[in-house]
């Protein structure tokens, strides 16, 4: 899908003249809009476009295209956007494997890449690049925060499971990096697995006092429903991915009371966030998700840099991005030397507001967390 | 591992197998009677789940949703048969694979267009919530036990349908000699539509049952489809009995493989390496099983006169 | 010249012309697109040998496509990091020379195809379709869960592999390499088809008993054809990895097997240039539909369905008329 957004058409156009640096910024967004996992891409896109609309800066031009979650298609679109559309900034990719396919060659060709979701360890450490910025998190972050939470909740014997692929292994490593108790058992499931009866039976038999899992997308929905039906009552926790707004409705009451970690929540108390949640509800008639907040922040980061520098002056624009002088909806936000965020990661609990399942913050998992790979990055 | 846990895992394997059987039965029936490979069978499974979820959401009743999924999938199957599939019977397998591959694209994207990109909510009915105590002290979810029972009932029903009824007689005749039953005055076009709709209804029913414990989302049919193919190939294409035994075999091997292989490797290597290697091997286990069976019996376990 | 020959020339020269026109128009992106067409057509040419000539409906050619890709990715990574691939019993180092990579890709694919073929070719019909699919799935899951080379995340090739005397980073030169390989494989296919081996293979498809009666075992003929077919598809995989500078398990997924099959069928099964026509049409549709609507897969599905139902014999079937030979 191609959407050319001339943001001034819909915005108020009052602040436009203040940004006298005339060169327009062309942003190419490659994201997953069709097939499995398209809900995430839709949210990132909607959040991003909302920010563009609210800013009303007509110098920001956005092209959106669907990668259908295929790495080779994403690479093709990236090449097209760089070579044909001559974009200055790329963004939008949801999945680590697609990011790994696109980012190294894209930043090599001189464009900026701002990640609104994926944060593979390679790009945070050895493979970091001056033109690569991550506006969401390093992949391990949310899991690390859950490890911190498990300590403060007093868990001593946690059963941990994740799918058998790199992000799954990173998740369990991240959890164990901060967790001080014992691991009851460590289980890797098949990627895309939908039946967890066997794993749940093992959890029941393990004598664990808590369960940590990372099962993104449909896997997590299936696991939570089956876990609730199994009658096992060991407390469950996990990163926000399985408990976020887009997915909670499908998990249903099975998710009630589950603790999950996230750098954002709709009840974070700051003006930027309040305005974002209200505007998102008004614009799209649903509650924003974590992914929408990340898309929103990404757009605002670009807008903030546009105010300070001309995108054709790459060094100045890079410095402006790095300053990150924008009001992030998650509150305090700054970049570490590897250009990944330093931010608080909260622990949320799934609650019901009227008929709608949503999250509320109950504490902080890790404060001012950067990433484990920052030492490996030579920036 | 205790005996009770082993029994529970065995039950899990059987239940997984029964779910696969519901998918595989339709697939193998369609292949046996019409000689057609239908990759879009997984789409009918998805349609069943989406119908059940949306009707259950609108009416509040899972049972109405289940009925809707049966009827809706059967209707979708009949329409697809009349519009598309009918033209494929006298084509080679290659055209069938491609045409039904195209159907997958159409159904997946069409479903997403209608229902949106987010997974739907579907929960098991109130009456089947909770767990029952097994001998030996373990708890087993009532819903899963019900799936096993329903699956076995359907297997018996299909057996009776095919061996005892007039329709079944025609189906059997169609399997052994397609031209002949046409010559005998049986309305073969209607027969094919009915068989295809029956297969579709079974797939939709399975989708609804499974949707309640898994995620109702676009693309949910594809992994199951591939497993169902493995099942019918192991069982012998066209054989309902083969499909049942193949399904249970695949279900049990997959479930026990997931649990036992990592433990097995744990005996002679470090725990994290063992989980890694064990899980990798477990995800390949059923394909290895299939390769071994076909290497020994190229027509599957119970070949039913398939060509 | 028959009509089909004319069309083949048009297709071949047309593909060659695209990058140069693109360069003149200042639209270098179309060079990438043409390169993609050439590479995917090559994968199709490989499958066409098994499928069109030998009647072996392999639903698992993604396995070879992916293995070829991983051969390129793994060798290049080791060369880039200067780590030997194998330290014992003899030192094998990585390589960033395309010629070496191609040889390795071809050799490994041939070997794997020999094993897979030896098992799968005992079956026929639907069983063959499904068991080839099963082998591809096995390799797919292995690649996902094997951590050494990135698993699901895939493996980046930081610098495109080199070719003696050429600058592969230049899109046109890389295109020409791919184009030359495609043409070479088309030439080999044509020679094979017209050789005694090709004749035997076609008889093995049409009437295996008759072939057996002449003292040639159909199994062996098929196996050899399957191995050559896999090697060509593997070569395409190696080039594809270099094009994207990336390889991941998605190259091994069953969708890719389906797509390679689509190239062949769209173009016309058993036609020499069929895969080229099919791949070109598919890529162009994917490219333009993707630019128009996010529901492009729906329309792609409808178009494919109509082609199968109403256009028998694919694009070359319509344009060149019914095939002269059986």
Q: What is the pLDDT of residues C40-90, one digit of tens each?
A: 999 999 999 999 888 899 999 999 999 999 999 999 988 888 788 776 666
- Give φ, ψ of C26 to 5 degrees: 70, 35
CA C66/CA C36 separation, integer angstroms = 15
Chain C neighbors of B287, CB-CB under 8 A = 134-135, 137-138, 141
| Tokens matching residue C5 | 């020959």
| Helix spans in C26-61 (H) | 29-48
Tell me whether residues C29 and A2 touch, CB distance under 8 A: no
Q: Does A84 touch chain C (CB under 8 A)?
A: yes
Residues paired with residue A115 on neighbouring β-strands, in sequence order: A134
Quick one: which H or E segment has residue A67? none
pLDDT in tens, C271-305: 899 999 999 999 998 888 877 777 888 888 998 89
CB atoms within 10 A of CB B268: 7
pLDDT digits 0-9 by tens, C27-42: 888 898 999 999 999 9
Chain C residues in contact with B110 by the CB 8 A cut-off are 298
Q: For testing the chain C interface, which of A35, A42, A79 should be mutated: the one with the most C CBs within 10 Å?
A: A79
Name the neighbours of B, counting chains with at least 3 Cβ pairs within 8 A: A, C
Q: What is the mean pLDDT of residues C168-179?
A: 91
What's A85's domain CATH number? 3.40.50.2300
pLDDT digits (tens, 9 = 90+) for C133-146: 889 998 998 888 77
Angle at A210 between CA A205 and CA A215, to 5 degrees: 90
Contact B119 A229 (CB under 8 A): no
Record: contact C152-A105, CB cut-off 8 A: no
CA–CA gap between residue C12 and residue C16 (Å, rounded):
6
Note the maximum CA span of chain A. Answer: 66
Q: How far is CA C273 from CA A140, A316, B131, C256, in A?
A: 49, 52, 61, 20
For residue B137, is it left (φ>0), alpha (ψ between -120 and 50) or beta?
left
Question: CB of C64 within 8 A of CB of C42?
Answer: no
Does C294 contact chain A (CB < 8 Å)? yes
Contacts of residue B94 in chain C, CB cutoff 8 Å?
51, 57, 261, 265, 269
The verdict on residue A340 lying in a domain is no
Q: How far apart are CA C249 and CA B281, in angstroms?
A: 16
The residues that bridge with A91 in the sheet, in sequence order, are: A29, A114
Task: For residue A163, give the chain B residue with the closest CA.
Answer: B279
Same domain, A133 and A203: no
Residues of A in contact with B271 (CB under 8 A): 186
Q: Decide if pLDDT at C310 tops 90.
A: no
- Report pLDDT for A231: 81
Cis peptide before B203 (omega within 30 of 0): no
Contacts of B90 (CB under 8 A, 6+ apart): none
The residue in chain B having the minimum alpha-carbon distance to the alpha carbon of residue C125 is B307
**What digits encode the pLDDT tens for the residues A275-313?**
999 999 999 999 999 999 999 999 999 999 999 999 989
CA distances from C278 to C31, C53, C134 (A): 18, 17, 25
In what helix (H) or strand (E) does residue B258 lie, and over which residues does it extend? helix B240-266
Q: Is C245 on the interface with A (CB under 8 A)?
A: yes
Cα separation, B205 vs B224, in Å, equals 14
Residue C94 confidence (pLDDT) above 50: yes
Beta-carbon count within 10 A of C81 CB = 10
Strands A236-239 and B131-133: unpaired
Q: What is the pLDDT of residue A14?
A: 37
Going by C-alpha positions, the residue among C229, C279, C283, C256 that lies closest to residue C66 is C256
Closest partner residue to A225 among B15, B130, B213, by Cβ? B213
- Number of domains forming the structure of chain A: 2
pLDDT in tens, chain B (307 residues): 677 788 888 888 999 999 899 999 989 888 888 888 899 999 999 999 999 999 998 998 999 999 999 999 999 999 999 999 988 888 888 888 889 999 999 999 899 889 887 788 888 888 888 888 877 667 788 888 999 999 999 999 998 888 888 888 887 777 777 677 777 777 788 888 999 999 999 999 999 998 888 888 888 888 888 889 889 889 988 888 899 999 999 999 999 988 888 888 888 877 777 777 888 888 888 888 988 888 788 888 887 544 3
Which residue has tokens 């939709």?
A: B204
Q: Is residue A1 part of a domain?
A: no
Are C246 and A70 an interchain contact pair (Cβ–Cβ within 8 Å)? no
Q: How many CB atoms are closer than 10 A to CB B239?
A: 25
CB C262 within 8 A of CB C60: no
C-alpha dist (Å) from residue C204 to A299, B298, C115, C199, C209: 61, 19, 20, 9, 8
Q: Across the interface, do C244 and A35 touch by the CB < 8 Å criterion? A: no
What domains, with CATH codes, occur in chain C?
3-320 (1.10.3470)
Cα–Cα dist A111/A106, whole Å: 6
| Residues A225 and A249: beta-carbon distance below 8 Å | no
Best residue in B231, B274, B280, B296 for a mutation probing chain C (most C CBs within 10 Å): B280
Element (H or E) spanning A64, and its range? strand A60-66
- Across C26-40, b (16+ Cβ under 10 Å) vs e yields eebbbbbbbbbbbbb
State the pLDDT at residue A6: 39
- Co-location of A101 and A127 in the same domain: yes
Output the pLDDT for position A229. Answer: 84
Nearest to C156 by CA among A161, A181, A120: A120
Residues contacting C139, CB < 8 A, separation 6+: C63, C66, C67, C252
A11 and A133 housed in the same domain: yes
The radius of gyration of chain C's CA atoms, rounded to the nearest angstrom, is: 20
Give the gap in angstroms from C-alpha A193 to the nearest C-alpha of chain B: 8
Please tell me the distance in Å from A163's CA to the nearest CA on chain B. 9
Which parts of A264-360 fold into alpha helices (H)?
271-284, 290-308, 314-323
- pTM for the model: 0.85
Q: Does C115 touch chain B (CB under 8 A)?
A: no
Contacts of A among chains (3+ CB pairs under 8 A): B, C
Tokens of B298: 């190229």
Q: C 132-161 residues with CB below 8 A of B?
A: 133-135, 137-138, 141-142, 144-147
Q: Does C240 touch chain A (CB under 8 A)?
A: yes
Phi, psi of A287 (to 5 degrees): -75, 145
Inter-chain touch B93–C126, beta carbons under 8 Å: yes
- Do both A123 and A271 map to the same domain? yes
| A56, A104: one domain | yes
Our CA-based measurement puts residue B210 at a distance from the nearest CA of chain A, in whole angstroms, of 9
Same domain, A39 and A150: no
Residue C129 to residue B93, Cβ atoms within 8 A: yes
Task: Name chain A contacts of C251, Cβ cutoff 8 Å.
Answer: 72
Structural domain range at position A77: 7-137+267-335
Cβ–Cβ < 8 Å for C232, C42: yes
Q: Is residue B29 classed as helix, strand or coil in its secondary structure?
A: helix
Are residues B102 and C146, on separate chains, in Cβ contact within 8 Å?
A: no
Whole-number Å distance between alpha carbons of B221 and B115: 16
Per-residue pLDDT of chain A (379 residues; tens, 9 = 90+): 444 443 333 333 334 444 445 578 999 999 988 766 788 899 999 999 999 999 988 889 999 998 888 888 898 899 889 988 899 999 999 988 899 889 988 998 899 999 999 888 889 988 899 999 999 999 999 999 999 999 999 999 999 999 888 788 889 999 999 999 999 988 888 877 888 988 998 898 888 999 999 998 888 888 998 898 888 889 999 999 889 888 888 888 889 999 999 999 999 999 999 999 999 999 999 999 999 999 999 999 999 999 999 998 999 999 999 999 999 999 999 999 999 999 999 999 999 988 889 999 999 989 899 988 999 998 8
Identify any residues that bridge with A61 across adjacent strands, giving them in sequence order: A26
Are A165 and C144 in contact by the 8 Å Cβ rule? The answer is: yes
Beta-carbon contacts of residue C103 (< 8 Å; ≥ 6 apart): none
Chain-chain contact of A191 with C250 (C-beta, under 8 angstroms): no
Do A277 and A197 belong together in one domain?
A: no
Question: In chain C, what's the furthest Cα-to-Cα distance?
Answer: 61
Contact C141 A190 (CB under 8 A): yes
In the 3-class helix/strand/coil scheme, how is C177-200 assigned residue by residue? HHHHHHHHHHHHHHHHHHCHHHHH
Sheet holding A60-66, edge to edge: A60-66, A25-31, A89-91, A112-115, A132-134
Q: Give the pLDDT score at A15.
A: 40
The kind and range of the H/E element at A206 are helix A197-206
**A308 within some domain:** yes
C 156-185 residues with CB < 8 A to A: 156, 158
A81 and A199 part of one domain = no
For residues C250 and B271, which has the higher predicted lDDT (pLDDT)? Answer: C250
Res C88: pLDDT = 66
In a domain? residue A191? yes
Is the same domain home to A229 and A371? yes
In chain B, what is the greatest distance between 2 CA atoms, to the nearest angstrom? 68
Subunits in contact with chain C (3 or more CB pairs closer than 8 Å): A, B
**What does the pLDDT read at residue C308?**
86
Residues of chain B in contact with residue C262, where contact means CB-CB under 8 angstroms, are: 98, 101
pLDDT of residue C322: 62
Helix runs in B84-138, H state only: 93-115
b/e sequence A241-258, b meaning 16+ C-beta within 10 Å? bbbbbbbbbbbbebbeeb
Per the CB < 8 A criterion, the answer to whether A99 and A75 are in contact is no
Which value does ipTM take for this structure?
Answer: 0.84
Q: Which residue has the tokens 């991003």?
A: A48
Whether residue A104 is contained in a domain is answered as: yes
Report CA-CA distances (Å) from B106 to A71, A236, B46, B79, C280. 22, 38, 13, 14, 21
Question: Which residues of chain A are within 8 Å of residue C145 when distances are taken between CB atoms?
Answer: 164-165, 188, 191
Contact B287, C137 (CB under 8 A): yes
Chain A positions touching B109 (Cβ under 8 A) are 34
Task: Mark whether A247 and A114 lie in a shared domain.
Answer: no
* DSSP 8-state symbol, B134: P
Beta strands in chain C (DSSP E): 84-86, 92-93, 155-156, 246-247
* A323 Cβ neighbours under 8 A, 6+ residues apart: A304, A305, A308
Q: What percent of chain B is helix, strand and coil (3-state, nearest 5)?
A: 75, 5, 20
* CB atoms A120 and C297 under 8 Å: no
CA distance C102 to chain B (A): 28
Let me know if residue A281 belongs to a domain.
yes
Helix or strand run (H / E) with residue C275: helix C274-292
User: Do residue B229 and residue C125 have CB atoms under 8 angstroms apart?
Assistant: no
How many whole angstroms separate alpha carbon C72 and alpha carbon C76? 6
Instruction: Indicate whether A218 and A116 sit together in one domain.
Output: no
Phi, psi values for residue C33, rounded to 5°: -65, -40
Does C254 contact A at CB distance below 8 Å?
A: no
Residue in the block written with tokens 């029941």: A204
Same domain, A256 and A274: no
Domains and CATH numbers, chain B: 14-125+141-296 (1.10.3470)
């Amino acid at each position: 899908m191609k959407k050319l957004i001339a943001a001034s058409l819909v915005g108020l156009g009052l602040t436009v003249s203040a940004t006298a640096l005339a060169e327009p910024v062309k942003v190419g967004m490659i994201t997953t809009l069709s097939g499995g996992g398209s809900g995430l891409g839709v949210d990132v896109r909607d959040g991003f476009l909302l920010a563009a609309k609210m800013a009303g800066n007509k110098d920001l031009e956005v092209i959106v295209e669907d990668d259908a979650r295929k790495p080779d298609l994403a690479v093709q679109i990236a090449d097209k956007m760089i070579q044909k559309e001559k974009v200055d900034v790329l963004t939008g990719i949801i999945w680590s494997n697609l990011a790994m396919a696109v980012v190294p060659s894209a930043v090599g060709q001189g464009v900026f890449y701002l990640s609104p979701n994926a944060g593979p360890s390679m790009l945070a450490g050895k493979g970091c690049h001056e033109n690569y910025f991550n506006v969401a998190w390093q992949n391990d972050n949310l899991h690390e925060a859950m490890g911190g939470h498990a300590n403060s909740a007093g868990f001593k014997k946690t059963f941990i499971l994740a799918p058998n692929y790199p992000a799954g292994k990173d998740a369990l490593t991240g959890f164990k990096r901060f967790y001080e108790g014992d691991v009851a058992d460590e289980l890797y499931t098949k990627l895309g697995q939908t039946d967890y009866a066997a794993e749940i039976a093992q959890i029941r038999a393990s004598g664990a006092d808590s369960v940590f899992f990372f099962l993104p997308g449909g896997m997590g929905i299936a696991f939570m429903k089956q876990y609730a039906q199994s009658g096992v009552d060991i407390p469950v926790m996990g990163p926000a991915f399985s408990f976020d707004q887009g997915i909670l409705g499908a998990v249903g009451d099975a998710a009630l009371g589950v603790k999950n970690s996230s750098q954002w929540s709709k009840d974070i108390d700051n003006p930027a966030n309040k305005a974002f949640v209200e505007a998102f509800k008004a614009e799209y008639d649903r509650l924003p998700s974590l992914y929408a907040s990340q898309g929103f922040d990404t757009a605002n980061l670009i807008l903030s840099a546009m105010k300070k520098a001309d995108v054709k002056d790459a060094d100045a624009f890079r410095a402006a991005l790095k300053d990150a002088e924008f009001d992030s909806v998650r509150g305090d936000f700054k970049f570490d030397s590897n250009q990944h965020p330093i931010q608080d990661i909260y622990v949320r609990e799934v609650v019901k507001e009227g008929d709608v399942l949503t999250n509320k913050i109950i504490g902080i998992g890790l404060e001012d967390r950067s990433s484990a790979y920052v030492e490996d990055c030579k920036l | 591992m205790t005996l009770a846990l082993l029994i529970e895992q065995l039950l899990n394997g059987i239940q997984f197998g029964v779910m696969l059987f519901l998918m595989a039965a339709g697939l193998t029936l369609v292949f046996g009677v019409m000689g057609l490979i239908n990759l879009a069978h997984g789409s009918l499974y998805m349609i069943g789940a989406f119908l059940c979820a949306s009707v259950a959401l609108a009416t509040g009743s899972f049972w109405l949703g289940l009925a809707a999924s049966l009827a809706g999938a059967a209707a979708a199957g009949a329409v697809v048969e009349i519009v598309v599939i009918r033209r494929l019977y006298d084509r080679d397998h290659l055209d069938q694979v491609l045409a039904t591959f195209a159907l997958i694209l159409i159904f997946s994207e069409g479903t997403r267009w209608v229902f949106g990109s987010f997974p739907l909510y579907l929960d098991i009915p109130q009456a089947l919530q909770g767990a029952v105590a097994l001998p030996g002290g373990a708890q087993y979810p009532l819903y899963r036990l019900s799936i096993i029972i329903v699956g076995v009932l359907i297997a018996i029903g299909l057996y009776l349908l095919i061996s005892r009824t007039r329709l079944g007689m025609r189906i059997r005749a169609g399997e052994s000699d397609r031209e002949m039953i046409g010559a005998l005055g049986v309305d073969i076009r209607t027969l094919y539509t009915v068989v295809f709709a029956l297969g579709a209804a079974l797939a939709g029913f399975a989708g609804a049952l499974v949707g309640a414990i898994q995620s109702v989302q676009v693309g949910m049919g594809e992994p199951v489809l591939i497993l169902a193919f493995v099942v019918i190939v192991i069982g012998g294409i066209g054989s309902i009995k083969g499909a049942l035994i193949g399904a249970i075999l695949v279900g049990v091997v997959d479930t026990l493989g997931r649990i036992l292989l990592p433990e097995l490797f744990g005996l002679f290597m470090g725990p994290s390496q063992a989980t890694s290697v064990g899980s990798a091997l477990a995800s390949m286990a059923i394909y290895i099983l299939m390769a071994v069976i076909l290497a020994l019996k190229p027509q599957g376990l119970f070949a039913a006169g398939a060509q | 010249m028959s009509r089909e020959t004319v069309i083949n020339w048009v297709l071949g020269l047309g593909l060659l012309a695209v990058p140069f026109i693109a360069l003149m128009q200042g639209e270098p992106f179309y060079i990438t697109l043409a390169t993609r067409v050439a590479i995917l057509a090559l994968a199709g040419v490989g499958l066409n040998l098994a499928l069109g000539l030998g009647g072996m409906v392999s639903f698992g050619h993604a396995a070879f496509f992916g293995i070829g890709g991983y051969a390129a990715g793994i060798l290049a990574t080791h060369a880039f990091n200067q780590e030997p691939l194998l330290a014992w019993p003899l030192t094998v180092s990585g390589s960033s020379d395309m010629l070496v990579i191609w040889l390795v890709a071809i050799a490994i694919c041939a070997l794997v195809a020999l094993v897979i073929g030896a098992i799968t070719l005992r079956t026929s019909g639907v069983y063959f379709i499904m068991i080839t699919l099963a082998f591809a799935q096995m390799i797919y899951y292995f690649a996902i869960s094997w951590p050494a080379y990135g698993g699901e995340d895939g493996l980046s090739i930081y610098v495109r592999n080199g070719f003696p005397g050429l600058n592969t980073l230049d899109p046109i030169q890389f295109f020409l390499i791919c184009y030359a390989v495609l043409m070479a494989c088309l030439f080999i296919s044509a020679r094979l088809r017209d050789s005694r081996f090709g004749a035997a293979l076609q008889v093995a498809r049409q009437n295996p008993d008759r072939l057996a009666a002449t003292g040639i075992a159909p199994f062996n003929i098929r196996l050899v054809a399957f191995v050559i077919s896999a090697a060509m598809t593997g070569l395409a995989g190696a080039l594809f990895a270099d094009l994207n500078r990336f390889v991941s398990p998605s190259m091994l997924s069953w969708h890719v097997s389906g797509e390679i099959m689509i190239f062949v069928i769209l173009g016309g099964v058993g036609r020499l240039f069929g895969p080229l026509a099919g791949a070109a049409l598919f890529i162009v549709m994917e490219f333009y539909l993707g630019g128009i609507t996010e529901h492009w897969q729906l329309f792609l599905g409808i178009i494919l369905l109509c082609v199968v139902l109403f256009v028998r014999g694919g694009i070359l079937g319509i344009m060149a008329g019914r095939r002269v030979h059986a």
